Structure 1
């Protein structure tokens, strides 16, 4: 950015009026406040939406009151902040003029300490488009201000400005701004990056959905029909799970921004507008449920139960200690149940018992990893969770105990009559118990040392020791099946 245009405009006594949503902020305060309110209490968010009958400004006022937006961690546009600082350094006056609610605008301005004046919507007047253009003309005079914005509605404001400054505007919007006959300047890029959209889906988390193939494999139903329906189940689960990941990211904005790694997620970092998240979550949800209906009505019911459980987790259970771990274990197990329904393979009590204990262990490891990160950051409790750092030793004990019980369940299964019917050399399968015993101990110790990924299954795929354990387990399973 050249300082020459800033210097000349500031010396011309133009007031720099800056928009908030999409300009100073790589987000939108209307959506920020809605998802913050929904995260706090989804009922209060829905109640606030009723205020829309009184106009958009009334809605913004209601959401601002129901939410707890943390302005200190919002994704601000560094280039815009640098521009404002340069303007002030040149002796120019600055004002934050936004359609966001006045209360939120005041908090942002207080945090940044960059503005001489702050003007926002007041619950009655929505300060956008014509309203904003009329306000600026009356406040500073026609052509007596420079306006920095990013939206099509800002064309009405730029038309009465002495200088137009676009931020991350499309080529079409830039051309329209120039066509107004106003001196124009452009900040940022107009290129669309689709990588954040893919990242928001968390395709690496689809590894968990491989569990739907487990009933087919363990039941030795190695035929095309079982594989095809299991594959469809995998796709349906991936779509619905991604819908939930998007929803969870929107509800977890404040917690993610306070986390050393999760702050880089697309919605938390501002690389993907949260306004797009609602539509993305809904579209993925619809596609997943249509595909589920294609598989069977019973599978659709299982998916409905999964979605209800995981939505409940996002809205409520994840903030309740121990209950959150139980729900996470249930969500993993639901994938196995769905695989059995899709492939029409009956599920044994042994498999379900083993799954519940093993996945409870992995869910506890997930919480253990978060607490280790929290302790390293010098904090006393996890943001948006029901745990304190002092709980770390208990959580690790829960992970070890439940993991060892899963090994015990597997060992008892080895002595059951079903094993002799399915495997030619059942004694070879005992090797799996030894491998699992080692792996559970390894994974908990690794987490204790702060080397665990946010998700233990994703970590296991990348970890060399875990991959070796997996290969050994598969080798023992094949050895047990060989005649």
Structure 2
């Protein structure tokens, strides 16, 4: 809960994110109290361990006195107890006492006597509490805790929740989203230099480094969006929101990935690529902290984040970006960003919601306007493609530029289909990820590339 309130504070007070460091200098009690006072945690959505709750219910039915004894601040602990309705008493930290380790043991021994209580815990701080307990109940213990606890010869029960850490980390890092970074290769294709091995290697390095940076962003975003994710029908299953991965692990891993990404970019690629990566990361932070909750600004920021991948590819390869490429990508990705918002608003309207969507700047009644704007942006991208065919540079690059006209109906079909499926409620994920998995989209994409290949 200390980490949870800490991330909630950073999310709601990004310009004051250094305050917790000042509070911790005044003591852990002060830190916990200030964070508890400055944040609002919805205790009804916390990821409770159902095996533990079932155990407590059985013990309560047996007539046992059950206490929530926790280092969490008392205000949050009391709300958790009120929500679960399982505890007869709450012992928790306050402004003067951090109730952990020997302080918790001393209080329990004072109240109930040595070996006058059973204690359920999971961390090394709990070992000293188990020393004076009658029985030790161990739940999902930290590394080495179960072995050390067994030496006390008081273990009554060990509860280990089935976990798949590798799968959860892959999901948290969003490796499937790395497919978006294939946009880095677009400048290479547009310049007809895909056969240049040295440039291809550079593009591959840029792809990997950009993916590592993006994964760092996804971790940070999940840590900041715990409350919003738990209110979402699918995002609540994300590893951090669901409690399958510890917050501390995420807090430690995301800066390491960031260092790897920027360190690799600095050593292996051009300063211009480092600048593009920095611009992408800065825009992502702005989106996570603020822009995603601003009407219209959010979708433009999303379109820019996609376009930044193309810009990053051009800077990594020292290739020139054309007006047509940037214009096409902005309109196309604006349309896809609006697809995401439409899908969210449609779900909200279907549930009968009329208030502003949580964490967004839209109301369900904005649905029709979002649809109009999205379809218009998509069709504008087709117009840009059509104008590109008659550009002097295009005539020089392609032997048969007029054949590129065949790409226009393909793109019109795909955009129309995406919006019709979204209108029907069949768009359940990021439209780019959907396109990668969708057979029809893959066929259209292959035909689209074939047109340009024939034109060349």
TM-score by length of 1: 0.91
Counterpart of 1:89 in structure 2 is 61
Counterpart of 2:32 in structure 1 is 60
On the 8 A contact 1:162/1:183 being kept in 2, the answer is: no
Counterpart of 1:330 in structure 2 is 304
Match of 1:165, SS?
Answer: strand
Match of 1:33, SS?
Answer: helix
Cα deviation code 1:178-217 (max 9, x no counterpart) = 2113253211259773221121100010011000000001
Alignment length, in residue pairs? 453
Counterpart of 1:410 in structure 2 is 385
Shift in Å, 1:142: 1.5
Shift in Å, 1:45: 4.2
Q: CA RMSD in A?
A: 1.4
Select 1:377's aligned residue among 327, 348, 351: 351
Distance 2:248 2:357 in 1: 27
Counterpart of 1:388 in structure 2 is 363
On the 8 A contact 2:378/2:415 being kept in 1, the answer is: yes
Q: Equivalent residues in 2 for 1:304-343 (5 A)?
A: 304-343=278-317
Select 1:465's aligned residue among 421, 424, 440: 440
Counterpart of 2:210 in structure 1 is 237
Match of 2:344, SS?
Answer: helix
Counterpart of 1:69 in structure 2 is 41
Counterpart of 2:274 in structure 1 is 300
Distance 1:272 1:282 in 2: 17
On the 8 A contact 2:123/2:142 being kept in 1, the answer is: no
On the 8 A contact 1:170/1:191 being kept in 2, the answer is: no
1:200 and 2:200 aligned: no
Shift in Å, 1:110: 0.9
TM-score by length of 2: 0.97
Distance 1:447 1:191 in 2: 34
Cα deviation code 1:251-272 (max 9, x no counterpart) = 1111111111111110011111
Consecutive unaligned residues in structure 2, runs of 5 or more: none
On the 8 A contact 2:138/2:155 being kept in 1, the answer is: no
Counterpart of 1:268 in structure 2 is 241
Distance 1:204 1:383 in 2: 26
1:254 and 2:230 aligned: no
Q: Quick one: higher RCO (CA 8 Å, sep 6+), 1 or 2?
A: 1
Select 2:326's aligned residue among 332, 352, 357: 352
Cα deviation code 1:29-87 (max 9, x no counterpart) = 01111111222222344323421112112111111111121111110000000000000
Mean Cα deviation higher: 319-328 or 181-190: 181-190
Cα deviation code 1:4-45 (max 9, x no counterpart) = xxxxxxxxxxxxxxxxxxxxxxxxx01111111222222344
Distance 1:90 1:398 in 2: 61
Distance 1:411 1:191 in 2: 52
Shift in Å, 1:377: 3.1
Distance 1:129 1:230 in 2: 52
Consecutive unaligned residues in structure 1, runs of 5 or more: 1-28
On the 8 A contact 1:168/1:190 being kept in 2, the answer is: no
Cα deviation code 1:138-164 (max 9, x no counterpart) = 122211111000001100000011111
Shift in Å, 1:172: 3.4
Counterpart of 1:290 in structure 2 is 263
Mean Cα deviation higher: 50-59 or 170-179: 170-179
Counterpart of 1:144 in structure 2 is 116
Shift in Å, 1:171: 7.3
